[in-house]
A and B are shown apart, each in its own frame.
Chain A
Amino acid sequence: MVKLHEIDETAIFAWSNDALPLIATGTLSGVMDDTFSSDSSLSIYDPFAASATKQPAPVYTAAAPGKFASIDWSKPADGHARGVLACGLENSSIQLYDPAKILSQKPTNLVDTRIAEYTKHTTPVLQVKFNPLQSHILASSGSKGEIFIWDVKKGTSFNPGQAISPMSKVSSLAWNNNMAHIFGTAGDNGYTSIWDLKAKREVLQLNYSNTNLSVIRWHPSQSTKLVTASDSDSEPVILTWDLRNSSVPEKVLKGHKKGILSLDWCLSDPNLLLSSGKDDSTLLWNPIEGVQLATYPSLSNWVHETRFAPKIPEVFASASLAKKICIQSLQDTSEPISTKVQSKDENDFWNEISTTETQQPLFKVQQAPIWLKRPVSATFGYGGKLVISKKEEVKIVTVSNNGFIDKSAKEMIT
């Protein structure tokens, strides 16, 4: 199946936390598309609705007060059954909207669904990120080292504390997935910073041979592990770290040909990491083993953001400056192109190939995701025999009619 849907926008996006997620998009700041328009809009798509086509129309779209650098969709919270949409805008404001209201009322003016507007930043807002453990806490960052932590319930904000050295553009920000008071930032300073809100200061800096570490993501379940990447075209590396030994990276992943702009570590399986960047490509890695698993079809311009759908990690979306957000599946076992286009006649061949999906991902290593691996399985056979397989062990027990299990069960180690 691979490419599931395409959205024709140059935009930043966020997945909702629904079982079949929606996707919110906001017109990307800092770029001009072929329309040379300075208008900005916020749209919501429902790509998995039964009626959705390959290129779905938005279920909602409205003019926004500015272009977007970042957008994030929180989990459901008190009073906001479908979460909160936070938008970091080029005009230095943060806008919070209520997606439940947007979807039920579909107002012409987006401002009717606004929960709050924060105007404390003095520079364009570059990142907005909800805390994964306390979804009413929002972090935002901008240029000149501006970082704020917001309590969306109270509408208050505070500064995360003292930096080790002066910061400039903070273009990447990520909350730790296990420690609610820890987050990391990166930008154009060269290093990645780790912050502790309890200590009220920057507690660590990560460096790697003068390479600018500009993107950060945390391990889904281990609080001391993280991954960083470099947007430098001369050394586009992905590095995995354990903060307990923060002087050297654990693994160095090489494969991108130009600078890396986005990383996403799968929350459901730590053995899966997506990266994308200025070489127009999106790659899949096993960051624990340090190996590249797959290369997805390139998107003919910089791929500035790639994210797994949180509730269906089989699916991810990549946004490219080629006016395209591509929603695709991790795996593709469909036939190679040569067997899809079989026309003997020359003209038929060209007609057929123009309507066939010819780009396919290349898999170097076939690695099944954790969520498909059944750890245990018990199946009844004839004669009241129950076969139990678990990891490398198969066991057969006999169940009599009253449910009593024969204690002399035979074990079989394979």
Chain B
Amino acid sequence: MEDTLDLDPAPSDRIFAIENDQHRLVETLHGHEGPVWQVSWAHPKFGIILASCSYDGRVLVWKEENGVWSTITEHRVHSASVNSISWAPSEYGALLLCTSSDGRASVIEFLADGNTKHFVFEAHSIGANAGTWAPCIGDGKKMEDRRIVTGGCDNLVKIWKFNTEANNVILEDVLQGHTDWVRDVAWSPSNLGKSYVASASQDRTVLIWTKETSPDGSPSSQWKKTYLTKDKFPDVCWRASWSLSGNILAISGNDKVTLWKETLDGDWESAGEVDQ
């Protein structure tokens, strides 16, 4: 299985194997009672593990062993649609962040003995639409270096920092700028002295939030915001995704996927678009 993918608005997950640009359906997983919003592969070092989240309020974690798929965890702490899931940098272990329309986010930790533990936090009034992790700093051992970004129906982007004693997260920054729901947040995986967070919104704008990082790795300044484009997008900005090198940003709108990169003077310019 070189590279697999799935995204499917039906109550099942379909898995394709892709090899040399050929694809075939290898498995269909049934278990959700509502549309599946997102699926995400865990890092291969934890095994062949896939997480899925659904309108049914549940997160299911699936594992393949000897060609057989089974559900290893059913996470039912949310009381409304679970809208996003995101695996932590693998250095932290197998940790999954979930965000829900019930306004809360949760982090599930998969322990070595096969058990799980989790914590839940109030994230965004009326609905947390998206959440993702900051890239790993150093060897990933320092808990307080772990950060999360979430976006929600309160039009806010929030930065959260891990707190070991409380076994939870604490709110570090509230980023205000959008005038309608924040649909997606993406923290750039590149970590060269500067953090980049992109937030895509119902208000038809994308904001790039940047923050300088001091040499010891701790963020040292305030978050600065830049609009990705001067004019608004023609439609709702649904999704933001950074390339793995962190230098290209893909924004999904209703008709088009557009690509963006930063110029030397810190502006953002088009790097092409994908017609559909």
Looking at A65-73, A150-158, A395-403, the stretch in contact with chain B turns out to be: A395-403
State A190–B92 Cα separation when bound (angstroms). 68
> Please, which residues of chain A bring their CB within 8 A of the CB of B18?
396
Tell me if B167 counts as interface (CB < 8 A to partner A): no
Contact B5 A375 (CB under 8 A): no
* B151 sits at the interface (CB 8 A): no
Q: For B271, list chain A residues within 8 Å (CB).
A: 402-403
| Stretch of A85-93, A118-126, A170-178, A328-336 contacting B (4+ beta carbons < 8 Å) | A328-336
A380 and B125 CA atoms in complex are apart in Å by 29
**Are A315 and B126 in contact, CB atoms less than 8 angstroms apart?**
yes
Question: A366: CB under 8 A from chain B?
Answer: yes
> Is B76 positioned at the interface, with any CB of A under 8 Å from its CB?
yes
The range of chain A's interface size is 35 or more
- Whose C-beta in chain A lies nearest to the C-beta of B180? A19
> A389 contacts B79, CB within 8 Å?
no
Q: Check: A48 CB closer than 8 A to any chain B CB.
A: yes
Chain B 1-15 near chain A by CB (<8 Å), digits 1 or 0: 001011111000010
Report the minimal beta-carbon distance from B227 to chain A, rounded to whole angstroms.
Answer: 20
In the assembled complex, the CB of B110 is this many whole angstroms from the nearest CB of chain A, namely 22
- When distances are taken between beta carbons in the complex, the residues of chain B under 8 Å from A402 are 271
| Interface-side segment among B111-119, B190-198, B216-224, B246-254 | B246-254
Interface presence of B80 (CB below 8 A): yes
B33 touches A366 (CB 8 A): yes
| Most-contacted residue by chain B among A2, A19, A401 (CB, 10 A) | A19
* Cβ-defined contact, A333 with B239, below 8 A: no
Once the chains are docked, how many angstroms separate the CA of A381 from the CA of B2?
Answer: 12
Q: Does B232 contact A (CB under 8 A)?
A: no
B242: which A residues are within 8 A, CB to CB? 380
* Minimum C-beta distance from B1 to chain A (A): 12
Chain A residues, Cβ within 8 Å of B81: 331, 333, 368, 372
Tell me the bound Cα distance from A332 to B100 in angstroms.
12
Complex interface: chain B residues within 8 A of A329 (CB): 80, 101-102
- Taking CB as reference atom, which chain A residue is nearest B273? A405
Given A19-B155, A387-B5, does the pair A378, B261 have CB atoms closer than 8 Å? no
Q: Using Cβ atoms and an 8 Å threshold, which residues of chain B touch A335?
A: 76
Given known contacts A386-B250, A394-B5, A404-B272, A399 and B259 CB-to-CB distance under 8 angstroms: yes
B243 touches A380 (CB 8 A): yes
The main secondary structure of chain B at its interface with chain A is loop
Q: State whether A382 and B79 are in contact (beta carbons under 8 Å apart), knowing that A19-B180, A376-B254 are contacts in the complex.
A: no
**A104 CB contacts on chain B under 8 angstroms:** none
A35 beta carbon closer than 8 Å to chain B: no
| Residue A250 at the chain B interface, CB threshold 8 Å | no
Chain B interface size, under 10 / 10 to 19 / 20 to 34 / 35 or more? 35 or more
Instruction: State in angstroms the CA–CA spacing of A391 and B254 once bound together.
Output: 11
**Chain B residues with CB under 8 A of A199:** none
A404 to B183, CA, bound (A): 27
Find out whether the CB atom of B154 lies under 8 angstroms from the CB atom of A378.
no
Selected interface stretch from B50-58, B65-73, B204-212: B50-58
Contact between B252 and A378, CB atoms less than 8 A apart:
yes
Residues from 1 to 47 in B contacting A, C-beta threshold 8 Å: 3, 5-9, 14, 16, 18, 21, 23, 33-35, 37
Instruction: Please judge, given known A-B contacts A19-B154, A366-B55, whether A382 and B244 are in contact too, CB under 8 Å.
Output: yes
Known contacts being A377-B238, A389-B7, A414-B14, is A395 close to B34, with CB within 8 Å?
A: no
Q: A322: CB under 8 A from chain B?
A: no
Closest residue of chain B to A2, judged by CB? B79
Asked whether A378 and B244 contact (CB < 8 A) given A48-B126, A372-B55, the answer is no
**Bound state CA distance, A397 and B273, in angstroms?**
11
Set B16, B80, B254, B261: member contacting A331, Cβ < 8 A: B80
Determine if A291 is an interface residue (Cβ-Cβ < 8 Å): no
Query: Measured between C-beta atoms, what is the minimum distance from A5 to chain B in Å?
Result: 12
Which A-B residue pairs are the 6 nearest by beta carbons? Answer: A333-B57, A403-B271, A389-B7, A334-B79, A378-B257, A368-B55
Interface of B toward A, CB cutoff 8 Å: 3, 5-9, 14, 16, 18, 21, 23, 33-35, 37, 55-58, 76, 78-81, 83, 101-103, 125-127, 153-155, 180, 183, 238-239, 241-245, 247-248, 250-254, 257, 259, 261, 271-272, 274, 276
